Structure 1
Amino acid sequence: MTDYEAVILDVDGTIVRGEALLPGATDALQALEAAGCSRLLFSNNPTRGSDHYREKLAPHGIDVEPTTVLTSATVSADYLAATHGGERVFLVGGERLEAILEDAAVEVTADPDAAEVVLGSFDKNFSFGTLWEALRALEGDVPFYGTDPDATIPIDEGEIPGSGAILAAMEAVAGREPDAILGKPSAVAAAAAMDRLETDPGKTLVVGDRLDTDIALGNRAGMETALVLTGVSDRTALASSDVEPDHVLESLAAVETLL
């Protein structure tokens, strides 16, 4: 047994990198289960819903229930449905995110002049035309949100631009920052995680590879944090960051040392 009652685990860069399972990840998950920790997977990927991670991890022998998975897409959809029900959302994002929003009964419009809410996210087809439409949608005091702040996304070949890069362009033309970023490390994300886990933040461990999202989420919410060095943040980033984890692990495989 352990003092932790629950663990929040990032996925990309923590359990997998691209499609490859990171060494020791399966043993680490088994150790957490044996220690009696409730598990929640939380990805800032804004293009995927909860079902995706069951399909992604099943070939590696890891069983995942969709109810134990959150993504920045599902958190954003739930938040907009709860706070802007019936309002038209202009989306800068991909088709998968649009489908997740619509599944949550969020009305999406392609007309920037009809926008009552604007949501910015990862869009591999982002262009000058998209940015021009976003500028039109953001006129006035329309609420402006982002799914996640990740400037880059780790892939097998390295990194690609993420939602944070697109949001920076939208901020620049609109002359204002988003009213809120809804994925990690926001208070919205922390509340969504705690609602799923139904546990005390002080007895919850957050494990992830990003200082500015995973570790910041835990620090702000009063959780214990562990940075793994298998993804975006390395020791150089750690040395220059104001965000400090409680623990630094070479990989998720070392999480057993904390139990």
Structure 2
Amino acid sequence: MKRFAGYIFDLDGTVYLGEEPLPGAPETICQLMAQDSRCVFLSNKPIEPVSRYREKLRAMGIPVNDGDVINSSIVMARYLNHRKPGAKVYLVGEKPLEDELTRAGAIITSNPYEAEYVVISWDRDFNYRKLHDAMQAILNGAHMVATHPDRACPVPGGLVPDAAGMIAAIEAVTGKKCEEIVGKPSRWTVDAALERLGLPREEVLMVGDRLETDITMGKSAGIKTALVLTGITRREDLVNSTVQPDYILEGLPDLLKGD
């Protein structure tokens, strides 16, 4: 298939599943890099620091640099800095996201009545107290924003609930809609990736396993897209989908077909 100057790779379900690389994925990426293609890696997953993703890729033999991995925590920090530097945030999320927002200057508060933003994310300790406090903050005028819209995350053996469950619960009790979701497929994420690559859109390929995030984002940004069938999406899901990728791959090694 066509060789691109730049690649934006999703991680979970595309490059690896859990702690294990998907067959041929590291070797394929390394070969693309050796042929001078630039690569950026995206994850909507905010429950680990971005340094952990870099370490994980390096352990698989993929030579990533600082800045080559962007997750929804980093994008949310950029978003808040753009909207209101030093904003007071009530967080429904985990420690790595809190740390990223704090480093970027946000003020995390446990008092819902002083929060200016409620940031909603994947939170494995989501409970009634967080639901109650998020509701009070939003009804008191705080903006409701979220890191990413994923309904489930692929793990070895199946799927686990993701941030969409927390967003839906808070929307239900407040009667309000989330104002902005900054992770894939948002322009906030694709703009961060394109800025890192420093390439024209027509020279970039978005590669991922989800129609509703990875492929939708690429299409919306005017980037060519490749759906890999190693994660969430199955070939039969394409039959009735309004979102169609430019390429369909059984795995990342298909990127090298024709070499």
Q: TM-score, normalised by structure 1?
A: 0.95
- Unaligned 5+ runs, structure 1: none
Q: Give secondary structure in 1 for the equivalent of 2:239.
A: helix
Matched, 1:238 2:199: no
Aligned AA (1:30): C
Letter in 2 for 1:201: R
* Structure 2 residue 43 is the aligned partner of structure 1 residue 39: no
| Matched positions, count | 259
User: Is 2:81 the partner of 1:81?
Assistant: yes
1:166 alignment counterpart: 166
Corresponding residue SS for 2:113: helix
- Do structure 1's residue 109 and structure 2's residue 104 form an aligned pair? no
- 1:95-118, CA deviations, whole angstroms, 9 ceiling, x for partnerless residues? 111111111111111111111111
Identity %: 39
Deviation of 1:230 (Å): 0.5
> Which residue is 1:93 aligned to?
93
More divergent stretch after superposition (208-217 vs 1-10): 1-10
Question: Which residue does 1:194 correspond to in 2?
Answer: 194
User: 2:204, 2:255 → 1: CA distance?
Assistant: 13
Q: Deviation at 1:257?
A: 2.4
Residue number in structure 2 paired with 1:206: 206
- 1:181 and 1:214 map into 2 onto residues whose CA distance is 14
Greater Cα shift, 225-234 or 239-248: 239-248
After superposing the two structures, state which structure 1 stretch, 122-131 or 223-232, moved more: 122-131
CA–CA distance in 1 between the matches of 2:73 and 2:258? 30
Give the C-alpha shift of residue 183 in structure 1. Answer: 0.6
Q: Tell me the SS of whatever aligns to 1:31.
A: helix
Q: Structure 1 residue 23: deviation in Å?
A: 0.4
- Residue 63 of structure 1: how far off its partner (Å): 1.9
| Runs of 4+, deviation exceeding 2 Å | none
In the alignment, residue 37 of structure 1 is paired with which amino acid?
S
Q: Does 1:131 align with 2:125?
A: no
1:45 partner letter = K
Counterpart position of 2:184: 184
TM-score, normalised by the number of residues in structure 2: 0.95
> Which is helix-richer, 1 or 2?
1
2:209 and 2:125 map into 1 onto residues whose CA distance is 27
Letter paired with 1:212 = E
CA shift for structure 1 position 245:
0.5
Kindly state the Cα deviation for residue 55 of structure 1 after the two structures are TM-superposed.
1.2
Q: Residue in 2 aligned with 1:256?
A: 256
The answer as to whether partners of 2:228 and 2:250 remain within 8 angstroms in 1 is yes
Counterpart CA distance in 2 for 1:240 and 1:129 is 40
C-alpha distance after superposition, 1:4-25 (max 9, x if no partner):
2210000110010000111011
Amino acid at match of 1:120: I
Quote the offset at 1:52 in angstroms.
1.3
AA matched with 1:32: L
The answer on 1:121 being equivalent to 2:124 is no
* Equivalent residue, structure 1, for 2:27: 27
Are 2:116 and 2:141, in contact at CA under 8 Å, matched by a contact in 1?
no
CA contact (8 A) 2:14 2:252 kept: yes
1:232 CA displacement: 0.7
Q: Secondary structure at the match of 2:130?
A: helix
Which has the higher mean CA deviation after the structures are superposed, 220-229 or 46-55?
46-55
1:177 is paired with a residue whose SS is coil
**CA distance in structure 1 between the partners assigned to 2:79 and 2:130 by the alignment:** 24
Shift of 1:3: 5.0
Q: Contact 1:2–1:35 at 8 Å: present in 2 too? A: no
Q: Which runs of 5+ in 2 are unaligned?
A: none
Q: CA deviation at 1:140?
A: 4.3
The answer on 1:62 being equivalent to 2:74 is: no
